[in-house]
Amino acid sequence: MPMDSFVLKTKNKIISFLEELRVWYLLGMPRRSKERIAEIYEICKENKCGFFENTSCGMCGCPISDKSIIKNKIMLATTECPHENKYWGPEEGFVEKKAEIVNRKETVNIKNIKTGGGGGCGCR
Ligand code: SF4
């Protein structure tokens, strides 16, 4: 892959995940349960979409795993599968709320995002 397109792809992945974090923060940082995370990760692993890449979604580029950490799109209860088939969606109650927030241009200070136990970056 040419360097320019690699940089652009990486940049788009980062922007995509930061937007997921922004929406999640503005909706009160709700987390999915460990059981629900495992269930959704299994759906991704089935790879019916054709975009599963082990530690990330090849469609939006966001990190995915079965861990309850901030660096996991599935942990954020406001997120959804980006595929047109919507293999999984936001948790109950967040569909409408998310639609409102997505169009708001409110910015978020990343320092305000609390990672909870276990280290949000995945470190222990
Ligand atoms: S989030 Fe959706 S498109 Fe991405 S890997 Fe999971 S099922 Fe596939």
Asked, for residue 111, whether it belongs to a domain, the answer is: no
* Cβ(26)–Cβ(109) below 8 Å: no
* Secondary structure (3-state) at 52: strand
* Cβ(66)–Cβ(37) below 8 Å: yes
Nearest atom in ligand 1 to the alpha carbon of residue 83 is: 3
Higher pLDDT, 70 or 5: 70
Asked, for residue 117, whether it belongs to a domain, the answer is: no
Asked, for residue 12, whether it belongs to a domain, the answer is: yes
Higher pLDDT, 15 or 49: 49
The pair of structure tokens assigned to 119 is 């280290």
Asked, for residue 120, whether it belongs to a domain, the answer is: no
**Predicted TM-score of the model (pTM):** 0.82
* Averaged confidence pLDDT in the chain: 87
pLDDT of residue 115: 59
Asked, for residue 16, whether it belongs to a domain, the answer is: yes
pLDDT of residue 103: 77
Within 8 A by CB and 6+ apart from 12, the residues are: 61
If one counts the domains in the chain, the total is: 1
Quickly state the pLDDT bin for 57 (edges 50, 70, 90).
very high
Q: Tell me the CA–centroid distance for residue 62 and ligand 1, in Å.
A: 10
Q: Is 49 in the pocket of ligand 1 (CB under 6 A)?
A: yes
Q: Best of 40, 62, 83, 84 to mutate for ligand 1, by most ligand atoms within 8 A of CB?
A: 83
Q: Is 40 in the pocket of ligand 1 (CB under 6 A)?
A: no
Q: What is the domain extent for residue 14?
A: 3-102
